[in-house]
Structure 1
Amino acid sequence: MTSQQPPVLERLPIPPLQDTLNRYIDRIEPLQDSKQNKRTRDVVFSPENLDNLSILHNKLLEYDSELAKENPYSSYIEQFWYDAYLLYDASVVLNVNPFFQLQDDPTLKDTNSRPTVTNNGPYGAHTMQIKRTSKLVTSMLKFIHQLRNGTLKPDTARGGVPLSMDQYNKLFGSARIPPGPGENSCHLQTDSSAHHVMVMYKQQFYWFDVLDINNNPLFKTPDELEWNLYSIIMDGNATSATENKLPFGVFTTESRRIWSNVRDYIYQADDRTNWKNLKLIDSALFVICLDDVAFDESVEGQDDLTTSMLCGTSKVNLDFKSTAAPLNIQSGTCLNRWYDKLQLIVTMNGKAGMNFEHTGVDGHTVLRLATDIYTDSILGFARGVTTNVLDIFKEDKPVLKLNIDNKKNKHNVITIPRKLEWQVDSFLLSSLHFAETKISDLISQYELVTLDFKGYGASHIKRQFKCSPDAFTQQIFQIAYYALYGKFETVYEPAMTKLFQNGRTEAIRSVTLPSKKFVKSIFDRNATDDERKQFLQDSCKEHSRITKECSVGLGQDRHLYALYSIWNELFKDSMPLPGIFQDKAWSVLNTTIISTSNCGNPCLKSFGFGPVTPNGFGIGYIIRDESITLVVSSKHRQTQRFVSLIEKSFMEIDHIFNRANGLDPIALDQDKAYLMRSRGMSGSLEKTNKSEDLRYLLSGYDYFDVSVTG
């Protein structure tokens, strides 16, 4: 099969400078008072600022023109984007890596129970875990095979418009490598010839080959893989707590500077064992994390599960009466991770998800992987019953083939798991200890709350509210925050720009003048429900308009960041920092208090990430036809209260529309009235401007006794 390149898409556009500045003013105006906005306008449109930005803009155009000649499969933002991630020095845990939790496998039973050693099944308490993992991994191998052999079905937008596929090259065999001596930046390293996976169980490492030299899966069915996983678990369980069970994965939770020092120490050692281990991990296709814990379906269980998927749990033995292990020993799942790579995580009762290093790939790319492997793993069961089943990975003509030099890659295939043994000394032991205590500290600083809102979903929003479900949900976040704090803060939502070559994302800034007008009307005793309905639809239309602009590369954040990067790299010593970057508005717009992302897909059960600022919230949400799931994170900023207000806000909008239409929400649909019933409310609501439920939004208080015009 001959190698071929994917089609070259249109390059990511660089908007006209004046258009970008106008959009910038539009995005920052809702977050300022009139005096602040006037100062910002004066700074942005001052002759000196415009002259300096024009110089930077022309240099950016020149840079992009040269880049297009050297590499057509590139974009003007690519290197600046990588630098933004790779120059980041703090831990990637909770700061960079997001997670996806897959829906449970309906073909496997008892995923909601806690397994015991008496469970029926060929692998005892680990039967569910092994079977779920084997199914997902064999589906991932099919995905990799098609990617590398040019037969992976290309991504398309509505109408069959092709999307950029370049991120898939960074999905497998990639690792975030800390800076070397004298370097300031991490590196994104990708081994496109990798053929092995790394398996972690009880913080121990095992590896084996899963592809042959032609990228054909060595394990064709899940059954063939199960024994490998079972033997790893049995070996891990046979290792006593006092033996060498060193959590080397905890180094990836450190700051890049400290992790860099540790790696350099390992590299300089005379014994090459540890360095060879690191190279094996770095080059692995991905990491399989088999966790020796299970989570039930209770609210607490789901919150613990999302914590485990996002950052790992921290569990320390402090029982002075216990003699099974030394006191203060960490046993949380945070030790069973390698955060510098793509990770597939599976619990003992078959709960599965992914945690991924974000530098080279965005959520849309990993979502495609999650969707394909989940669907294929489910359809695999049906294929055992009938042959008339859709095949997700049906071979087709090559679309994209990775260039892999197999001449230098001829190796003996190793399909039996091999365990990594580590050589330690006092420096490494103390470094591990302090890394473990720091990640425990970090995890304890955050909280995650999950909301499965079943009152309604996308169908009801479109039919009843006549709004885009995503735009509508963004308004809900603003209502809840305003109800709690009485003000508006910077909200971020990514718009995918994969319509263009090497497209990543553009920033949707959700707070607009129409959204403020709508949110304030909810708390205005003089506003009517008809006005609130109109304000909602106006704000959603504005959000959708901005989203469409951003998705075609006509936003403001990426362009301005590229201009700042050009100044920082080429003009720092010859040009003063342009006024726009010194103005307080620039800091306000780039200090995201509410960071959000919508990753809706039937295969996902939940999705989340940490807040991007110390005083912020992170909101990952999934909008389904009949429900909406959110995972909200913060550094203990009343997260549960905020989530509760989001839930109440969803219901309040439904009440507004029902009142305006003269309808009784309880008689409409029992499911949609569940929240009201849970509050002990019954009977018809009076058709008035005042909500029976507003007291919940305002913590028992009445309408805001403040001006709603400012």
Structure 2
Amino acid sequence: MTSSPAAPAPPRLPIPPLQDTLDRFLARVEPLQDVRQNKKTRRAVESPENKELLAALHEKLKEYDSELAKEQPESSYIEKFWYDSYLEYDASVVLNVNPYFQLEDDPTIADTSATDSGPYGFSTVQVKRAAKLVSSTLKFIRELRHGTMRPDVIKGHHLSMDQYKKLFGSSRAPPGPGEQSCHLQTDTTSHHVIVMYKSQFYWFDVLDTDNNPVFSTPEDLEWNLYSIIQDGDATENPTATPFGVFTTESRRVWSNIRDYIYNSSDNSNWKILRIIESALFVVCLDDVAFGDSPREKRELAKSMLCGTSRIELDFKKATAAATASPEQLNVQHGTCLNRWFDKLQLIITRNGKAGINFEHTGFDGHTVLRLAMDIYTDSILSFARGVSNNVADIFNDRDAAEPHSANLITIPRKLEWKADSFLLSSLHFAETRISDLISQYEFVTLDFDRYGADHIKAQFKCAPDAFTQQVFQVAYYALYGKFEMTYEPAMTKAFQNGRTEAIRTVTPECKRFVKSLFDRNATDDDRMTFVQQAAKKHSLITRECSMGLGQDRHLYALYCMWNLYYRDSMPLPPIFSDKAWTLLNTNTISTSNCGNPCLKNFGFGPVTANGFGIGYIIRDSSISIVVASRHRQTHRFVSLIERSFLEIDHIFNRDAQDEAAVASGAHTPVSGGRSTSASSDYLVGMRRDSSAANISGKSKDLRFLLGGYDYFDVSVSG
């Protein structure tokens, strides 16, 4: 097979000048400090001792990077430290490491899950959706391994493709005896998949020795998937040994269990573990369906991110509903048992909702987004190909060779775990701990359809992402009256082995705009100018970060240099003991924008105990948001985000709304020639003329932001 021409290698990730990094550090923390704190931080950062120590570390880092470039050309100065920061993390990866993407529904597959129609009964839509997505994923792997995959390109620049090597056949393994760090292991020869259904494990080969898909069409896969569902339904008490729940444990606990399995006289469980960990990916077929109500959307987000927890304790209720027998009471039935969180997982519900959950030590969201985009598009186009041969291909199907089926296991084989008293008790306690963890979080989705990127660019003259970041700050300030450290990742894949850099949203320009919304003396003209200036500043910071010119990664690498080479011989530079360093690394608001038409939504857990995790997708005419927190008024926060979007739109369109209302006779003019109404959802708000006579009217959305208080009751000095 002919390979695509080799794309030019991206340049190495630059190490920014030290003084530039220190200037950026001070600029990012200053808006979040009071005057006294900031003076103390500046003294520490600008002290001769700090600069001298950091200069030595900076030179060591450049020397380290120079040697690395010779030994490992496809590397970056942050690579090792990045992996260590993830792999040394001991807490559960659930809600702490793994994010999820939910794909858009497949319009070519009718939902028959409630009607028992179709060739596979209630499971027809699930089987067909899963088969199409798996088939498309195998094409993606074939192109990746054959070297024919189209390179990622942005504005004519080729991006680093190194992360794709770790996408399939990879697994996060807990530390071995005496080790401190987990391992990211990748089997580049993997040819099989794992399918989970009702906590049971099955496997079969899907690629031949030349990395061509064994199953030529999705239809060829369907019977394998349906036979697994049939077997799972026929299994007595299938959730009795949900070994996947071990991957929800802390790394220390999981390490002890894995070591116990390795040292057992019967190596059956160890062989099963190796089969799972070496698989290309895991397919999770869930035996539940989710509707489109707000509550069901929240439950689906939870199921995709961490799994649901459902335990029946009421015997009368259970038997009346014919859902549980006495031995099934006080037993976990949630989807949290039908997962293997240490690997890439493709999740499909009973009614065909689909998503991807991934342990992302080895790759970032942009890499998985490419996978999601390609497999979703290909699965949709497969329907069109059945109608016409003149359909463009995502993958190079026409040149695909016939698969070699010799010595392949193409019929699903069940993995039969052997559980003793230690493993059974460990399973029970793992299940109770993940149930505890899930119960500590809540998830709220918002599908804002009043406007999207087109309106933001045309009406507000702002970059959509920068504008949306300002909205998050408005909502948070409206709820808590303060600003917190906010994180947004900037992709640095324009560089070899580039990962991300940290964009910091809270700037002086951002604070000025947010406060102006709650300032009775500010005019609409002020607010329009301020939001544009704040968005412009955010876009500038984003561009710098995408060029590798941020502050977080460089400073962290300098800290790692000290920790690795000088801990016993050099004092810790004062910057790292200053409270501003802790502040920079306490991301109360953690956000990420991952937009593509193939995605319904996506999300992740908060990164601090009192924080919010905000995943959002900006489309041309809508914005989808998933917010997670540890029950920190998440519903209220999301409602404030929605009203903030609306209030800013009112500010920019106040005159047009007033003129339309006057023309229709709905409003009565007041002093200054403006109008007001007691019934409209779009009441006249703060005037462009800030005189006292023109401050009386406020939009209902602004009143909502103020929580029922007036301008005179809200302090904007914080």
TM-score range with shorter-chain normalisation?
A: over 0.9
- Aligned residue in 2 for 1:401: none
- Aligned residue in 2 for 1:436: 431
The answer to whether residue 95 in structure 2 is matched with residue 98 in structure 1 is no
| C-alpha separation in 1, matches of 2:328 and 2:476 | 45
Matches within 5 A, 1:130-141: 130-141=127-138
Alpha carbons of structure 1 residues 328 and 430: separation in structure 2 relative to 1, 3 Å:
same
| C-alpha separation in 2, matches of 1:330 and 1:374 | 32
| C-alpha separation in 2, matches of 1:664 and 1:571 | 69
Give 1:394 deviation, angstroms: 2.4
For structure 2, the 5+ residue unaligned runs are 664-677, 688-694
The answer to whether residue 700 in structure 2 is matched with residue 695 in structure 1 is no
Give 1:660 deviation, angstroms: 5.2
TM-score by length of 1: 0.94
| C-alpha separation in 2, matches of 1:359 and 1:396 | 34
- Aligned residue in 1 for 2:690: none
Alpha carbons of structure 1 residues 174 and 5: separation in structure 2 relative to 1, 3 Å:
farther
- Aligned residue in 2 for 1:475: 470
Residue identity over aligned pairs, in percent, reads: 69
The answer to whether residue 21 in structure 2 is matched with residue 20 in structure 1 is yes
1:517-553: CA deviations, max 9, x gaps? 0000000000000000000000000000000000000
* Equivalent position SS for 1:607: strand
Alpha carbons of structure 1 residues 568 and 2: separation in structure 2 relative to 1, 3 Å:
farther
Query: Contact (CA 8 Å) 1:342, 1:354: kept in 2 or not?
Result: yes
Alpha carbons of structure 1 residues 143 and 535: separation in structure 2 relative to 1, 3 Å:
same
Residue in structure 1 matching 2:140, options 140, 143, 148 = 143
- Aligned residue in 2 for 1:86: 87
Matches within 5 A, 1:208-607: 208-241=204-237, 245-321=240-316, 322=319, 324=325, 325-394=327-396, 412-607=407-602
Give 1:185 deviation, angstroms: 0.1
Aligned-partner residue type, residue 483 of structure 2: F
* Equivalent position SS for 1:613: coil
Aligned-partner residue type, residue 698 of structure 1: L
Aligned-partner residue type, residue 371 of structure 1: M
Give 1:704 deviation, angstroms: 5.6
| C-alpha separation in 2, matches of 1:630 and 1:347 | 21
| C-alpha separation in 2, matches of 1:666 and 1:173 | 61
Give 1:224 deviation, angstroms: 0.1
- Aligned residue in 2 for 1:405: none
| C-alpha separation in 1, matches of 2:407 and 2:257 | 31
Aligned-partner residue type, residue 267 of structure 1: Y
Residue in structure 2 matching 1:177, options 157, 166, 173 = 173
| C-alpha separation in 2, matches of 1:478 and 1:244 | 44
For structure 1, the 5+ residue unaligned runs are 399-408, 669-678
Query: Contact (CA 8 Å) 1:154, 1:163: kept in 2 or not?
Result: yes
| C-alpha separation in 2, matches of 1:269 and 1:664 | 79
| C-alpha separation in 1, matches of 2:571 and 2:263 | 43
| C-alpha separation in 2, matches of 1:233 and 1:46 | 66
* Equivalent position SS for 1:258: helix
Give 1:424 deviation, angstroms: 1.1
Aligned-partner residue type, residue 14 of structure 1: I
Query: Contact (CA 8 Å) 1:151, 1:395: kept in 2 or not?
Result: no
TM-score by length of 2: 0.93
Give 1:449 deviation, angstroms: 0.2
| C-alpha separation in 2, matches of 1:581 and 1:184 | 23
| C-alpha separation in 2, matches of 1:683 and 1:489 | 30
Residue in structure 2 matching 1:199, options 185, 195, 199 = 195
Query: Contact (CA 8 Å) 1:655, 1:665: kept in 2 or not?
Result: no
1:257-309: CA deviations, max 9, x gaps? 00000000000001010000000000000000000000001011100000000
Alpha carbons of structure 1 residues 184 and 397: separation in structure 2 relative to 1, 3 Å:
farther
Alpha carbons of structure 1 residues 545 and 244: separation in structure 2 relative to 1, 3 Å:
closer
* Equivalent position SS for 1:28: helix
Alpha carbons of structure 1 residues 453 and 680: separation in structure 2 relative to 1, 3 Å:
farther
- Aligned residue in 2 for 1:685: 684
Give 1:390 deviation, angstroms: 1.1
Alpha carbons of structure 1 residues 51 and 666: separation in structure 2 relative to 1, 3 Å:
farther
| C-alpha separation in 2, matches of 1:38 and 1:411 | 72
| C-alpha separation in 1, matches of 2:662 and 2:392 | 41
1:57-95: CA deviations, max 9, x gaps? 100000000000011100000000000100000000000
* Equivalent position SS for 1:281: helix
Give 1:570 deviation, angstroms: 1.0
Query: Contact (CA 8 Å) 2:686, 2:698: kept in 1 or not?
Result: no
1:368-402: CA deviations, max 9, x gaps? 0000000000000000001111100126999xxxx
- Aligned residue in 2 for 1:167: 163
| C-alpha separation in 1, matches of 2:75 and 2:262 | 33
Alpha carbons of structure 1 residues 524 and 151: separation in structure 2 relative to 1, 3 Å:
same
* Equivalent position SS for 2:328: coil
